[in-house]
Amino acid sequence: MRNSNRLIVDMSDNKSIIVKVVVPRRVWETYDYNVPRGIAKPPVGARVSVPLGHGRAVGIVVEYVERSDFELKDIERIIDEKPLVSEEVVELGMWLSDYYHHPLGSVFETMLPNAAIRGQPAKIEPEKQWTLVEQANPATIRANAKRQQQAWQTIREHKMVRESDLKSLDITRSALDALERKRIVKKTDVALSQVITPSSIAPTVEQKLAINAIKSDLGKFQTFLLDGVTGSGKTEVYLQVIDEAIRQGKQALVLVPEIALTPQMTNRFHERFSRMAVMHSMISNAKRFETWCQAARGDMPIIVGTRSAVFTPFKHLGVIVVDEEHDASYKQSESLRYSARDVAVMRASKLGIPCVLGSATPSMESVMNARSSRYRYLQLSHRPGAAQLPTFHVQDMRHTQVNGGICEPLLRTIRKHLNRDGQVLILINRRGHSTYYICTDCGWTANCSDCDVRLTLHEVPTRLLQCHSCGRRYQPVTKCPDCGKKSIATLGVGTQQVEETLAETFPDVPRHRIDRDSVRTNRQLTAMFTRLQYAKEGLLIGTQMLAKGHHFPNVTMVAVIAADNGFLSTDFRGPERTAQLIVQVAGRAGRAEKRGEVWIQSYDPDNPDLRSLVRDGYGGFTETELRLRQEANFPPFGQMAVIRAEGPDERVAEEFCAEVLNALRQCDVKVYGPMWAPITRVARQYRFQGMVLASKRSQLHDALKTVERMRPKSRKTRWSIDVDPSEMA
């Protein structure tokens, strides 16, 4: 590691070796241990089993030191003879702990697969293969050496056998060793068997520019922002760049925001590359660890994965791609609150390789980085072939008749598209039927008893009220519990109500509702998207789940039911997220030969963000939004962190939040708060937060460093630091 005095231990002077070990638990420090004399010293990056407290733990060796101030215990066992993770990954862990102000042990807990933490054996050495030596003399194999005879025959037949095939071919190691000694076979590392099918697509001029720019930077650090409208052929650019990296003997990492998007991406990759692996939370622990080790030993050329795949160790990583780089799911919202996109850029810089960030709606951060030339900007401004971008229409809802969330002119337009055999996609970012359950007489509203949240009425599959924060369910009352009158009503529309309205108007048209209620698991989501590929007609109604990178070639119209919530959100990222959602969902319209139409219902049609988005597209929105951010010194101009504290006692939680913020006020940063979190109470925990703003990154980190290890007096109070927050909730 850098800045460490690595020690060459002089074994003659009777000293043993001391190592620093990080254990994957919520601890800030590494622990020092003795490596007893006489046992091989574990390399940096290898796992060791160590005594800890009254038990033991699996840890990773991160450093050698000359002396220690502690009374040292001995390492119990060395698990890996060779490093499980490279020094690069160990250093990445240190950096993450520093940057996100998060305990080092917990960082490694996040980075390592479960199987690794449990100490399962890892296959880190490259796989071996055995081939025949030319001009070998098989006569030297004794006739009664049956095993050797058989092994030699098999290798002659197959030309080559791999380590992983030995068992099924019934070949023993000792037979191979004997043959090797006789110079009949030779043992080598397995050559990567990647079969590349060349692209059948002729790149457009813009694609060619992008491909060449990235290719010519393979081998050095450079971040590229590939800004390309939906369907403009970004994936084709990734494929051709990775093709080149693999031809140079390097590996590639491709990040996608959602598990449900991995099949789509892997299918495209499989058409071109014979060998690749996926990595996400639905893959079994054992399989994950196996893939992880394959990547580490250079035996897996391509990994496509979600957020945590960014921690995969690689032997020769050559390029990282982050698709849909703007997507909020790259940010982990608990424990280590890392951004996989930012970690990807960090890794690329340490490794000296290019990182490609692709999006149709780049984040404000990436746009700014491109403007300041930290990132190289590459643009794909149109779709190849005939596909055209859709037209936009903002429907002023202020004096319009609305029925079940949808106004009359919108219903007419939907009908027009359905009559022309188009599919219509309807985006409504709330699940359930109604978002308010109220008494019209006295103003009572149904709230969750454990949270400060209004209950949502669900009609499907059964009628009940649900808290969307803690999940608790309630029977809907028919009489007001406050005034006793039967004047109960509902307000605010969700997906179920929109579906109901459309069912009444278009009873014969097939409908598909996609939200967290109709699709509960990632497996169901993947299955649903597969089904939708074949559903060529009807209505698709759903939440933002529908907006993510899927191709619906028959969709000719997209309707956004309630865009205002996002544009008027108290969260400073609300408008950005909403604009991205609208543009992404609009990208689903008219992907093929049919031109699409996008309708946005708004009670605030003069909103500057909405207006610039509709008039000048996402680029126009970006201008408006960046100007507003700059005025407030919000990211990407100022550097931000959010401090959150919560606990069962309102006063204690608030006081602790104040304590942290007051300590921060001693530093060179601007501090706001404590204030209530947007949802003030969830599952009986009172929630407070504060905001920290700095002009320079170093100021922010110096300040956070002073508070990162503060501890609330009550163990029931929990708190966190969120650097570069992706939401204020």
Of 16-24, 323-331, 476-484, 617-625, which segment contacts Zn ion by CB under 5 A?
Answer: 476-484
Cβ 684 to Zn ion, closest distance in Å?
A: 9
Choose the one of Zn ion, ligand ADP, none that binds residue 538, judging by a C-beta under 5 to 8 angstroms depending on kind.
Answer: none
Residue 233 binds to ligand ADP (criterion: CB under 6 A): yes
Contacting residue, 1, 11, 39, 201, with ligand ADP by CB under 6 A: 201
Total residues binding ligand ADP (CB under 6 A)? 15
Task: Rank residues 231 and 432 by Cβ distance to ligand ADP and give the closer one.
Answer: 231
Nearest alpha carbon to residue 594 among 356, 366, 419, 423: 423
Residue 483 binds to Zn ion (criterion: CB under 5 A): yes
CA 279, CA 681: separation in Å to the nearest integer? 35
List all residues 6 or more positions away from 262 whose beta carbon is below 8 Å from its beta carbon: 256, 278, 280, 304, 305, 306
Residue 707 phi, psi (nearest 5):
-115, -10
Token pair recorded at residue 336: 């280590």
Nearest alpha carbon to residue 350 among 97, 112, 94, 62: 94
Cβ 207 to ligand ADP, closest distance in Å?
A: 5
CA 255, CA 91: separation in Å to the nearest integer? 21
Choose the one of Zn ion, ligand ADP, none that binds residue 405, judging by a C-beta under 5 to 8 angstroms depending on kind.
Answer: none
Residue 501 binds to ligand ADP (criterion: CB under 6 A): no
Task: Rank residues 148 and 235 by Cβ distance to ligand ADP and give the closer one.
Answer: 235
Contacting residue, 385, 443, 471, 510, with ligand ADP by CB under 6 A: 385
Per-residue x/- track, 365-384, ligand ADP (CB under 6 A): -------------------x
Token pair recorded at residue 220: 């050095």
Name the residue with tokens 């501090």.
Answer: 671
Choose the one of Zn ion, ligand ADP, none that binds residue 451, judging by a C-beta under 5 to 8 angstroms depending on kind.
Answer: Zn ion
Does the bond joining 126 to the residue before it have cis omega, within 30 degrees of 0? no
Choose the one of Zn ion, ligand ADP, none that binds residue 138, judging by a C-beta under 5 to 8 angstroms depending on kind.
Answer: none
CA 561, CA 574: separation in Å to the nearest integer? 16
Contacting residue, 148, 204, 435, 685, with ligand ADP by CB under 6 A: 204
Residue 329 binds to Zn ion (criterion: CB under 5 A): no
Task: Rank residues 36 and 385 by Cβ distance to ligand ADP and give the closer one.
Answer: 385
Phi-psi region of 335 (alpha: psi -120 to 50; beta: other; left: phi over 0): left
CA 62, CA 49: separation in Å to the nearest integer? 14
Could you tell me the CA-to-CA distances from 578 to 194, 279, 324, 725 in Å, in that order? 41, 29, 15, 17
In which element (H, E) is residue 245 found? helix 234-247
Cβ 421 to ligand ADP, closest distance in Å?
A: 21
Choose the one of ligand ADP, Zn ion, none that binds residue 42, judging by a C-beta under 5 to 8 angstroms depending on kind.
Answer: none
Task: Rank residues 235 and 363 by Cβ distance to ligand ADP and give the closer one.
Answer: 235
List all residues 6 or more positions away from 394 whose beta carbon is below 8 Å from its beta carbon: 599, 600, 602, 605, 610, 614
- Radius of gyration from C-alpha coordinates of the chain: 29
Task: Rank residues 286 and 483 by Cβ distance to Zn ion and give the closer one.
Answer: 483
Cβ 448 to Zn ion, closest distance in Å?
A: 3
- Of 411-450, binders to Zn ion (CB under 5 A) are 439, 441-442, 444, 448, 450
Task: Rank residues 235 and 601 by Cβ distance to ligand ADP and give the closer one.
Answer: 235
Could you tell me the CA-to-CA distances from 42 to 20, 39, 601 in Å, in that order? 11, 9, 63
In this structure, what DSSP letter does residue 588 have?
T
Choose the one of ligand ADP, Zn ion, none that binds residue 121, judging by a C-beta under 5 to 8 angstroms depending on kind.
Answer: none
Choose the one of Zn ion, ligand ADP, none that binds residue 470, judging by a C-beta under 5 to 8 angstroms depending on kind.
Answer: Zn ion
**Are residues 451 and 687 in contact, defined by beta-carbon separation less than 8 angstroms?**
no
Token pair recorded at residue 361: 């709606």
Positions in the binding site for Zn ion (CB under 5 A): 439, 441-442, 444, 448, 450-451, 467, 469-470, 472, 480, 482-483
Positions in the binding site for ligand ADP (CB under 6 A): 201-204, 207, 228, 230-236, 384-385
